[in-house]
Chain A
């Protein structure tokens, strides 16, 4: 079958309604692509073919029976989703990318998984990631690294490696991910798709393997701003199972930009070490937006230079606690199945929390974290959003940083600010480098400003007449 696969939710639902294709035919096409290309890319850890066909058949029957109104009722009707393998899926193996959980079949589903399913989505499988979400390249997965679809010698970015790569290859329509320090934004940036890291506390973490609980944000990927917004509309809000989630009253205006928008350019994010092409794509975007009347202002966040140091104290501390539960008794394999990076972080975390070092490292890091938050809050008194690189360079080669953990950690130097201060950020694709690898930037905003960021993203998207692309 040679059908043209839709690239966005809108195209998918219009096609289903006009009977250009059925949901079952969509699943056929996705599964064919996965079978054909994923041996080289390694984006999927589990393909849930049976569930996908069962759900697709139900979708086709409902459309036949109810017609257009079913799409008004269920906003993700007929949308094919795959989840990062950190999200528990009832009855479908969930590994967290680690051999410790290689045979673990969850007894319940994560809130996000359930909500997406109840909105009419079709689940096609589970996606590769760095084990326990520890990594910036996907190379720490115990099941092999995910390759970058745009050039297989390069990493896809991590930790949500499969989530980004599978969209760049059209293995499905939307994917989910987690972002503790860039794990959504970096792979989105490296694979040329959109990624949302929402406000900490806007989406429930219930049923998602915990990494660093004061930083974990549950987000999603798509090939357009509309798509990442549509999924956020479904996943956000209280579920009574995660005490950090508040039912914030988001403004419901769709993509409406307020009249006077001012965006900050944080000086400390444009320093030595930033790749010229990354800087250029951002400055070109700034110029374009300026011409449309958006104001830009240089701002300063001096303490963000400590971001990675704070993060590599707080995060391993919380990791060592969260991974303490894996004892192989109730489920999962024994602790000698932890890979190198998990062991490294458990030990670092145990060290910074241990007697004699707690004040020197952990307490101090929590205090400097407050300083970053103060600076971020002060800047948002003055600007509506911040524009910044996602990472210092475009995608790097597989193997380039694996023997130097510190160098790997520094990949996320521009990601840390949003997680440490709990603010939302979206990764936006802007084009391609001379080598043909994706380029982009991130837009951060104050807590619960997701809809301003969506509006800005959409404005930019229309300005450059952005068309989603698939690598091959």
Chain B
């Protein structure tokens, strides 16, 4: 059985793009450890002969014709209605790339952290 560490909690929070306070890290470490210890009861099941189930419909390759139907897509006005941060009819987002100082060192923001 895997034992959860503080490092795991911080790593998982980073992967999930969540910011945790120190108290939260402690709390989640304890609570998640309890849950993981419980779910590890599955270790006792022999799964060697079992295929995984990812869905229960029995349907395969459900297809439809890829065509544009009126009313199936949103007008610009509606598509942008969920946020005030727009610019020239585009969504405004935080910059992903750092400002270019040297063309060869273009890097993703956050990658150096």
Q: Which residues on A are within 8 Å of B, measured CB to CB?
A: 104-105, 107-108, 200-201, 214, 240, 243-244, 246, 303, 306, 308-310, 312-313, 320, 324, 327, 329-332, 335-336, 338, 343-344, 346-348, 350-351, 354, 357, 360-361, 363-371, 373, 405-406, 409, 421-422, 447
Contact = CB atoms under 8 A, between A and B. Distances in A.
Contact of B15 (A329, A354, A371): A354
A366 B42 CA distance: 11
29 contacts: A104-B82, A105-B82, A107-B74, A107-B78, A201-B57, A243-B62, A244-B55, A310-B42, A313-B39, A320-B16, A327-B17, A329-B91, A331-B83, A335-B18, A336-B18, A348-B35, A350-B12, A351-B4, A351-B32, A351-B36, A354-B11, A354-B12, A360-B2, A361-B39, A364-B43, A366-B52, A367-B51, A370-B52, A421-B56
B38 A346 contact: no
Given A330-B83, A347-B9, A214 B74 contact: no
Nearest to B55: A214
Given A104-B82, A329-B91, 13 more contacts: A105-B81, A107-B81, A201-B59, A308-B39, A330-B91, A344-B32, A351-B36, A368-B42, A369-B52, A370-B52, A371-B45, A371-B50, A409-B35
B101 interface: no
B43 to A, nearest CB: 8
Given A329-B83, A330-B82, A347-B28, A335 B55 contact: no
Contact of A367 (B12, B13, B47, B56): B47
Contacts of B93: 329
A12 B4 CA distance: 56
B15 A350 contact: yes
B109 to A, nearest CB: 15
The 6 tightest CB contacts between A and B, nearest first, are A331-B82, A422-B56, A366-B52, A367-B50, A243-B62, A367-B47
Contact of B52 (A324, A350, A367, A406): A367
Interface size on B, as a range, is 35 or more
Interface in B58-110: 59, 62, 64, 74, 78-79, 81-83, 85, 91, 93
B18 A346 contact: yes
Interface of B: 2, 4, 8-9, 11-13, 15-20, 24, 28, 31-32, 34-36, 38-43, 45, 47, 50-57, 59, 62, 64, 74, 78-79, 81-83, 85, 91, 93
A405 B81 contact: no
B50 A406 contact: no
Contacts of B51: 367, 370
A329 B86 CA distance: 10
Q: Which of B8, B16, B28, B50 has the most CB of A within 10 A?
A: B16
B82 A405 contact: no
A338 to B, nearest CB: 7
Interface of A is mostly: helix
B77 to A, nearest CB: 9
Given A320-B16, A331-B82, A332-B82, A351 B8 contact: yes
Contact of A338 (B18, B55, B59, B82): B18
Contact of B39 (A104, A312, A369): A312
B62 to A, nearest CB: 4
B42 A306 contact: yes
Contacts of B55: 200, 214, 244, 422
Contacts of A332: 82
Contacts of A366: 52-54
B56 A200 contact: yes
B57 A244 contact: yes
Contact of A365 (B24, B38, B42): B42
A290 B34 CA distance: 43
A104 B78 CA distance: 12
A348 B2 CA distance: 13
B86 to A, nearest CB: 10
Given A346-B18, A368-B47, A309 B12 contact: no
A150 B50 CA distance: 45
Nearest to A365: B42
A336 B19 CA distance: 7
Nearest to B69: A240
Given A309-B41, A329-B91, A331-B83, A347 B32 contact: yes
A310 B42 CA distance: 8
Contacts of A344: 28, 31-32
